[in-house]
Structure 1
Amino acid sequence: MRVVATKEPKLGTVVRTLRGRDQEQYAVVVGFVDSRTVLIADGDKRKFDAPKKKNVLHLEITDFISSEVASSIQETGRVTNGKIRYALLKFAEGMTAEESGKETSNG
């Protein structure tokens, strides 16, 4: 997965935290506070009902957007924690597939 530092996050975007107690963890953007602050959740330790407020500068924004999470939030105003965990699982599978592809092409 390609990571873009200057990209604006959207609903359902998978991000990696760079600062704080949850450093190096992946989460999904589930809301916005203002232009610099987003709400993130991972569906496990950070549930949708109690998301973490995070400064965009403290996040690494990936190009992976979960359409299921984004459409669920837009349609009903909420998303299940299972859908968030599923989106992160699909992202992780894509990362491992990409890494294994790099290893075979370089070797």
Structure 2
Amino acid sequence: MTEKVKIGQLVYSKAGRDKTKPLVIIGIEDEYAFVADGKHRKVDAPKRKKMKHLQFTNTNFAIIKNRIVNGEIITDNVLWHTICEYLEGGL
């Protein structure tokens, strides 16, 4: 399963309080993905979700992935605006 999972990938929650909400993977550990959206779920406190509870998309945000891989700080504002821009058709 982890071969299709990437940092910076847009996913949707299939279960829990955040069901159907768009989230971005900001970390991966075993069968868990750490996800955040920058508004309801902050980058400092990402939600740990089992992979089976996520709906994966083919959308990857290179800007988010590159910042995380390079050890740069991702702000909640950047994450939230990246998601909103994509959903509004800007990317």
Determine if the TM-score, normalized by the shorter chain, exceeds 0.5: yes
Aligned to 1:78: 73
CA–CA distance in 2 between the matches of 1:37 and 1:80? 22
SS in 2 for 1:76: coil
User: Percent identity, aligned pairs only?
Assistant: 30
Aligned to 2:20: 24
Letter in 1 for 2:21: Q
CA–CA distance in 1 between the matches of 2:23 and 2:3? 16
User: How high is the TM-score relative to the length of structure 2?
Assistant: 0.88
Answer 1 or 2: which has greater helix percent.
1
Aligned length: 90
Structure 2 residues not aligned, in runs of 5+: none
From 62, 66, 82, the equivalent of 1:87 is 82
SS in 1 for 2:10: strand
Give the CA deviation at 1:90: 2.5
Give the CA deviation at 1:91: 2.3
From 8, 11, 34, the equivalent of 1:39 is 34
Task: State the structure with more CA Rg.
Answer: 1
Runs of 4+ off more than 3 Å: none
CA–CA distance in 2 between the matches of 1:55 and 1:77? 25
Answer 1 or 2: which has greater strand percent.
2
Aligned to 2:59: 64
Q: CA RMSD in A?
A: 2.1
Structure 1 residues not aligned, in runs of 5+: 1-5, 96-107
Question: Is 1:9 aligned to 2:5, yes or no?
Answer: yes
Letter in 1 for 2:85: K
